[in-house]
């Protein structure tokens, strides 16, 4: 297969899993933050130096590419492992020794632990459930951090000093609830996220009817987290994994607003510096001038306050969460301060997933992955800040 044939396929700019095929035979399975960009990288002129002779051989032999979209990079990672296990493609195992793959396992202890186990150390008799193989160990560890925030679980680090408080909190969870977490983790790794959400909604309704609002709220937060999986660390690792991804020197600032019906309204600024998330540069803003659900008014306030701080340095690109209204407000503020900085807006669908980026096409093409990374991180940071502020207001 060649690059001209690839152009006719029309791969989407979405996360998912791709298949290099020869006829009906699957030669290789991979996962991607952007199916279009990742598959395109296999047809670069320096492929042999960046990916090696085995991958070059695979692309030459393949005559077709298929794919399957997912809602998130996390789900692409899980689907990739399940499909590698099912089809055992030649070039997945040729590229890497089976024993160096990683697996997610639940052991037979009570309560069960969730562990990452190397293929060379995998004794199937010790584990109740085994999921994998996962080709990228670092990526899997980041994925497990995301999952553990949604469904807390024990692992072999439970006695380490820096994890004691976390595990103490898990230990306070009733046995039945902990077992539900393990059950949901198993469903997630089986590719059954929809079943998890369906079951959680049933349990949330039952808790609400029995006036157990604390547990109902906890499950509501789990449902929200599953619908808005924060892939930022996985996106970052995926970018680093793509050796053909290039970035000019840049400071990208992303802004987002969070509130509930206009109450406890906050704003945040996140920074991606030269392609890397820089949390030391993040800033929080409590909205002072708005007392209703006026997102554009709140954006105007935080941008005005930020631009007074020239000691922070100036961004080379500003990313706002929203469409033409938000981009227009940002341009108005920049004009007021006489700064000439490009602005892009990330437009979301009804599930708050990015569906388009508006702004200068050349800028978007150059920085697209980093725009989405910064925007994703801003959304996470804003939600976290809002929840903390809301909790403090509730306690007063």
| CA dist., res. 31 & res. 34, Å (int) | 9
Q: Is residue 23 within 8 Å of 80, Cβ to Cβ?
A: no
CATH placement of domain 246-395: 3.30.420.340
pLDDT digits (tens, 9 = 90+) for 39-89: 988 887 766 555 667 788 888 899 999 999 998 999 999 999 999 999 999
Residue 256: closest CA among 309, 295, 229, 297: 295
Quickly list DSSP for 89-121. -HHHHHHS-GGG-EEEEEESSSSPBEEEEEGGG
Q: What is the Cα Rg of the chain in Å? A: 23
Cα angle 322, 40, 190; round to 5: 75
Is the domain covering 3-95 a CATH 3.40.1440.10 domain?
yes
- For residue 50, the model assigns a pLDDT of 54
Long-range contacts of 20-26 (CB under 8 A, 24+ apart): 20/58, 20/59, 20/62, 20/65, 20/91, 21/62, 21/63, 21/64, 21/65, 21/66, 22/61, 22/62, 22/63, 22/64, 23/63, 23/64, 26/87, 26/89
Strands 25-32, 64-69: pairing is unpaired
Q: Is residue 110 within 8 Å of 116, Cβ to Cβ?
A: no
Share of the chain above pLDDT 70, in %: 86
Instruction: Flag whether pLDDT at 245 surpasses 50.
Output: no
Dihedral of CA atoms 322, 77, 14, 236 in degrees, nearest 10, equals: 50
Greater pLDDT, 255 or 164: 255
Strands 114-118, 102-107: pairing is antiparallel
- For residue 318, the model assigns a pLDDT of 97
Residue 151: closest CA among 127, 185, 126: 185
Greater pLDDT, 120 or 327: 327
For residue 173, the 8-state DSSP code is S
pLDDT digits (tens, 9 = 90+) for 304-344: 999 888 778 889 999 999 999 999 999 999 988 878 899 99
For residue 154, the 8-state DSSP code is B
Q: Is residue 131 within 8 Å of 81, Cβ to Cβ?
A: yes
Question: Buried b vs exposed e over 233-252: b needs ≥16 C-beta within 10 Å?
Answer: bbbbbbbebbebbeeeeebb
Residue 305: closest CA among 264, 253, 344, 262: 253
**In the chain, domain spans:** 3-95, 99-227, 246-395
Cα angle 193, 34, 253; round to 5: 100
Instruction: Flag whether pLDDT at 290 surpasses 70.
Output: yes
């Amino acid at each position: 297969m060649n690059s001209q044939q690839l152009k006719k396929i029309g791969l989407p700019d979405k996360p998912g899993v791709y298949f290099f095929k020869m006829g009906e035979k699957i030669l290789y399975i991979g996962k991607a933050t952007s199916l279009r960009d990742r598959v395109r990288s296999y047809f670069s002129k320096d492929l042999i130096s960046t990916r090696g002779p085995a991958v070059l051989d695979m692309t030459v032999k393949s005559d077709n590419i298929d794919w399957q979209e997912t809602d998130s990079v996390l789900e692409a990672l899980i689907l990739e492992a399940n499909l590698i296990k099912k089809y055992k493609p030649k070039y997945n195992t040729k590229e890497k020794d089976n024993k160096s793959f990683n697996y997610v396992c639940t052991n037979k202890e009570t309560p069960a632990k969730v562990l990452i186990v190397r293929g060379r150390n995998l004794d199937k008799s010790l584990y109740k459930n085994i999921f994998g193989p996962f080709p990228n160990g670092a990526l899997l560890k980041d994925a497990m951090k995301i999952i553990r925030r949604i469904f807390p679980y024990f692992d072999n680090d439970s006695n380490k000093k820096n994890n004691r408080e976390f595990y103490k909190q898990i230990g306070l969870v009733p046995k039945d609830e902990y077992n539900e977490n393990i059950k949901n983790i198993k469903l997630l790794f089986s590719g059954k996220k929809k079943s998890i959400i369906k079951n959680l909604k049933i349990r949330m309704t039952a808790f609400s009817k029995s006036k157990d609002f604390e547990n109902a709220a906890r499950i509501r937060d789990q449902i929200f987290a599953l619908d808005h999986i924060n892939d930022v660390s996985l996106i970052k690792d995926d970018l680093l994994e793509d050796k053909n991804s290039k970035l000019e020197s840049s400071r990208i600032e992303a802004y987002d607003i969070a509130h509930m019906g206009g109450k406890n309204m906050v704003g945040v600024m996140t920074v991606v510096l030269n392609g890397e998330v820089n949390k030391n540069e993040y800033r929080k803003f409590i909205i002072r001038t708005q007392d209703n659900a006026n997102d554009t008014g709140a954006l105007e306030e935080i941008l005005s306050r930020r631009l007074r701080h020239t000691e922070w340095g100036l961004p080379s690109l500003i990313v706002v969460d929203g469409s033409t209204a938000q981009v227009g407000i940002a341009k108005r503020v920049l004009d007021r301060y006489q700064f000439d900085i490009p602005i892009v807006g990330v437009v979301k669908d009804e599930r708050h997933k990015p569906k388009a980026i508006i702004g200068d096409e050349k800028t978007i093409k150059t920085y697209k992955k980093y725009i989405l990374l910064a925007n994703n991180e801003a959304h996470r940071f804003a939600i976290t800040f809002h929840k903390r502020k809301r909790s403090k207001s509730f306690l007063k």
